[in-house]
Amino acid sequence: MVCGVEFWVAEEVGSEPEVKKEPEKSPEEQEAEQQTNPSESAPNGDAEPQPAPDNAENAEAEPAPSDPLSTPSPDGQKKEKGISRFLPPWLKRQKSNSQAEPRDGHAPTDTPTQPPTQEELEDGQEEEGPKGEGTAVQPTGGAQEVQSGEEESPVANAETQPVKQKEGEEWAPESGVPSALKLGKKMKITVCHVTLLDGTQFPCEVEKRAKGQYLFSKVCEHLNLLEKDYFGLSFKDNTDQRCWLDPTKEIKHQIHNSQWQFAFSVKFYPPDPSQLTEDITRYLLCLQLRQDISLGRLPCSFVTHALLGSYTLQAELGDYDPDQHRSDYIAQFHFAPTQTKELEVKLAELHKSHKGMTPAQADIQFLENAKKLSMYGVDLHHAKDSEGVDIMLGVCANGLLIYKDRLRINRFAWPKILKISYKRCNFYIKIRPGETEQFESTVGFKLPNHRAAKRIWKVCVEHHTFFRLTSPEQPVKSKFLTLGSRFRYSGRTQAQTRQASALIHRSPPDFQRTSSKRSARSLDGAPVVSVSDHTHPLVSTHAAGPGENGRDSALELYSDSKSPQVEEGAEPGKGAATAVPAEPASETWKAADDSSELKSLEEELTSLFLSKACFSGLMDPCSTSVAPPESTLAAVSEKSPTRLESALSDSRDISKSTEDDQSSGLNGQPEVIEVVEETVVIEEVVRVARPQSSAPETAATEPALEGKDEGSASSDSESEEEAEYHPQLSGSAHLIREDPEEEEQEVGLNQEAPPAALKPCIIREDVTDEAAATAANMAEPADAQQQEGEVLVIPEKAPNGHTHDSEAPPTLFDEEEEPSFVNGDVSHVEGEHAPQVICCSEPPVVKTEMVTISDTFSAQKAEITTKEVPIVHTETKTITYEAAQLDGSGDVEPGVLMTAHTITSESLCTTTTTHITKTLKGGLSETRIEKRIVITGDSDIDHDQALAQAIKEAKEQHPDMSVTRVVVHKETDLAEEDE
């Protein structure tokens, strides 16, 4: 989840009303909670055994959080208060609602309900768990019962809970104590319901903190499946989108509000199923394909429907038997989306011709025909091209396919792709220049929302790794901060799984083929698979020694989850705190050298006519010209081991880039999974004369390319996550090589994840004098290294007489101030970036950004079209509070930008970016401080608290200034995180 809170601190006044309101709301919230709770509570019976220990633990735990983090604990309370005070009612409500929702969702699934739910909410903080247990005991308010237990704190609002959670999370890592406590404590068990490919349900009890891997292993064990790397577990998020369960992360973190309901399915469709070692693997693949076909996901012609169906009949029914197989025997099966009588006749006819074929042979024939289908193994995603035309992006073993109305209009094979990234709802691929081209081009696509963009990015990362590399990238430990998702595929690659499966020596397991008709009809049907359910035994074991699965996972998760988050979120400041290695990809397998198979891919294909979008990109000042900068950078840096790609603008980026660079240098391939989940942006604007004045938007069009990116990311405070993935890592041996070149270029993985910037008030303007300063702004976040010098500037700025907080990032712990680089420095890219970059986003909460997207269909169009696509954060909730006073300021008047400074500080979970701009308008100087606080982390983090604290601190720091506006931008990236 990304929560972005943007604050313009104008006055406190605004906040007060909020406070008042809160109490009112709180009851509502509580009620809501209560309602949800009962359901949860009812099931609790299971959980009860645990509670006792938990309680004891809880007691400990409770103090623990506060104690270890002496500061935090108080803060937490304060925060709560502060939050309540400061936050507009809406904010509160939303939060509360969100919390409530998750509970609801969980409740049904989780038997042990409350504890689990709470835990879930809390994101695996053990503390919470204990609390939850305790909760029942301490019902502060009637409504609060459940929650109260968790929260313990009298306040016991939904808000409070989050706060605690956040605290726990945030602080916990630092203290380390909490984690220890956590470890010991609970093992809560919940039941996962896994829908198998034959339609049956497999209930599996898991410890609540269990990672995805555990559940997946249990399912594979149940199925007696060894070649499991082609498969995965998926679930539907709260938007009903199917997401893959990340084996390296805790389940509950991933499913968030969703139920513990999963589907076992094929994740990587083997291009040549005949190379699978075991029949059971092929059988499962057949089941998946039958499902794909009958649901229309895998289109095929009448003849193919008939042929594939006939093999299905042969496999499931055996030889055609006139006595047994009456005329309508086929009607009971469901083969095609629309099954005609004609088809059934044809099926029967073909079925007869397969006489003597064994089920395994029939499966093989089925697969041999199915694999030829053009959409076999293509994972489709809805998107729009740069012109807003609806298209489909298909991720497959060989690369990325672009479809428009069933027509393939472009294709990017993995060897052609230098980098895969996403930013907000945009998904980008950087294309290797063609024979006749000098520059790389970047093609951008617009996904329906941020999550969708992240989803396809992940799918691409995974497919690339699985099919094109011989071994997964090594996780890189994040040195500092990392922006964006560090997600990497950590499982075995196809090459590795083939090697492993070659070593399988067991007598073929017996398995029973389920009738398609049966499965289709009854979900409740007895599990087809002969293997007995281990669930119960397992469960018991879990309970006893959850430590293995759940525990360990929990522990690890802790570090992992948090750290990754931190890293991601940490954009700027995290460095310090974060240190935690984000290397989620724990599992590293032996690198296989098989280069053979994959090689054949189309290296040859010369680049098409992709024009370089880069140049065009310059056009839009505000737009993030992702492509151009990157390309340029890439071009420059490619061979240089270290690249700071996008980093310039965002401190985060920088940090990342630096990390990346380092990492790349070390490993070359970071596998880290990062999740930037929540971003809270708090912007404070202090305006003396005319508040608004600060940013004249316009200006820096061209120069700002990088700046834009950066700026937008960092300064803009867009909470969104960005991530990059460079398919080709330098020097990585792993790559199944097709092109030698690729490897070289691959070198740097940069992740630019400028998650933070939310929209509103970013100020980018060109200041003539202060180009440097501006540059700083842009760069600010980026260079963690250089940081400090600049930060301070801020306070000084207030020429107007207003003092600015030097430390804008009030909330956060460590503040690192980074001097911004001059854009030029960072980006080697055409140095043009004049410092001038300025995006001014004014007060309006929704900021639109211009993104330059090069045309998708470059192949067909000789020219690449660059367009500016206004991006509106639709997926996010944005709440804006503006002080009435400020309203007038809304006008943006072009002023002269005197100075602009950006300071970024980071704490574990929070990154604060402060932009101080001084603008001279009509003789009045206006100082505006924008603070963006990006809270990154699992859902656990209490945004409210962080927000409250941020506001509070802002006020304290700048007594003479008023809070003009508070914008809370909450992005739900949940799926992404864990996914």
Partner 1 sequence: MAGFGNFTHAIVRAIPGSFATGALRTENLEEVDPNRALREKKAYVAVLRELGLEVLELPADESMPDCVFVEDCAVVCGDTALLTRPGAPSRRGEVEEMKTALTNLSLNVVEMTDETATLDGGDVLFTGAEFFVGLSKRTNQRGAEILADTFKDYAVSTVPVSHGLHLKSFCSMAGPGLIAIGSSQTAQRALKTMQQLSDHKYDKLTVPDDAAANCVYINMPGKGHILLHVTPEQFPESAKVFEKLKDYTLIPVSNLENVKVDGALSCCLVLANKLARV
| CA dihedral of 570, 572, 574, 579, whole degrees rounded to 10 | 100
Site membership for partner 1, residue 600 (CB under 8 A): yes
CA 699 to chain CA centroid, Å, is 33
**Rounded to an integer, what distance in angstroms lies between the CA atom of residue 650 and that of residue 612?**
24
As measured in angstroms, the least distance from the Cβ of 271 to partner 1 is 9
The residue (of 407 and 503) whose beta carbon lies closer to partner 1 is 407
Contacts with partner 1 by CB under 8 A: the residue count is 33
Question: What does the H/E/C string look like for 181-211?
Answer: HHHHCCCCEEEEEEECCCCCEEEEEEECCCE
C-beta closer to partner 1: residue 90 or 609 = 609
Question: Nearest Cα to 694, choosing from 837, 900, 967, 844?
Answer: 900
608 binds partner 1, rule: CB under 8 A = yes
Q: Of 47, 722, 61, whose CA–CA distance to 423 is shortest?
A: 722
What DSSP line would sit under 624-692, residue for residue?
Answer: B--HHHHHHHHHHHTTSS----GGGT-HHHHHHHHHHHHHHHHTS-------------------SS-SG
Dihedral (CA of 765, 769, 774, 779) sign: positive
Residues 423-462 that bind partner 1 (CB under 8 A): none
Report the nearest approach of partner 1 to the CB of residue 861 (Å).
8
Q: Which is nearer to partner 1, 405 or 524 (CB)?
A: 405
For position 408 contacting partner 1 by CB under 8 A, the verdict is: yes
**Which segments within 486-548 are labelled E, that is strand?**
none
Nearer to partner 1, 371 or 534 (CB): 371
297-356 residues in contact with partner 1 (CB under 8 A) are 299-304, 306-307, 346, 350
Q: How far is the CB of 858 from partner 1 (least distance, A)?
A: 10
Closest CA to 284 of 531, 523, 512: 512
108: left (phi over 0), alpha (psi -120 to 50) or beta: alpha
Least Cβ distance, residue 342 to partner 1 (angstroms): 10
Beta partners for residue 967, in sequence order: 6, 880
CA of 954: how far to CAs of 654, 718, 812, 933, in Å?
26, 19, 11, 11
Q: Which is nearer to partner 1, 326 or 408 (CB)?
A: 408
Interaction of residue 242 with partner 1, rule CB under 8 A: no
Task: Supply φ then ψ for residue 815, to 5 degrees.
Answer: -115, 130
Judged by CB, which is closer to partner 1: 171, or 403? 403
Nearest to 713 by CA among 748, 762, 674, 672: 762
Specify the stretch interacting with partner 1 by CB under 8 A; choose among 101-109, 409-417, 589-597, 947-955: 409-417
274 binds partner 1, rule: CB under 8 A: no
Give least dist CB 455 to partner 1, A: 23
Of residues 841-860, those binding partner 1 (CB under 8 A): 859-860
Q: What is the largest CA-CA distance in the chain?
A: 99
> According to the binding rule CB under 8 A, does residue 739 interact with partner 1?
no
Considering beta carbons, is residue 275 or 874 the nearer one to partner 1?
275
Q: Which of residues 279-308 bind partner 1 (CB under 8 A)?
A: 299-304, 306-307
Half-sphere exposure of residue 450, counting CA atoms within 13 Å on the CB side? 33
Closer residue to partner 1 (CB): 19 or 605: 605
Stretch binding partner 1 (CB under 8 A), from 122-130, 405-413, 521-529, 538-546? 405-413
**Nearest approach, Cβ of 303 to partner 1 (angstroms)?**
5
Q: Is 505 in the site for partner 1 (CB under 8 A)?
A: no
Q: Shortest CA distance to 459 belongs to which of 725, 110, 702?
A: 725
Chain positions 75 to 134 lying near partner 1, rule: CB under 8 A, are none
The yes or no reply on residue 409 touching partner 1 (CB under 8 A) is yes
Q: Residue 929: which residues within 8 A CB-CB, separation 6 or more? A: 9, 683, 684, 685, 686, 794, 804, 805, 808, 914, 915, 916, 917, 958, 961
Q: Compose the 644-683 pattern: x for residues touching partner 1 by CB under 8 A, - for all others.
A: ----------------------------------------
Does residue 411 interact with partner 1 by CB under 8 A? Answer: yes
Segment interacting with partner 1 (CB under 8 A) among 169-177, 367-375, 545-553, 795-803: 367-375
How many CA atoms lie within 13 Å of 212's alpha carbon, on the beta-carbon side? Answer: 28
- In the complex, the smallest distance separating the C-beta of residue 742 from partner 1, rounded to whole angstroms, is 16
Instruction: Extract the tokens encoding 260.
Output: 């513990």
Least distance between partner 1 and beta carbon 612 (Å)? 16
Residues that bind partner 1 (CB under 8 A): 299-304, 306-307, 346, 350, 372-374, 398, 404-411, 600, 602, 604-609, 859-861
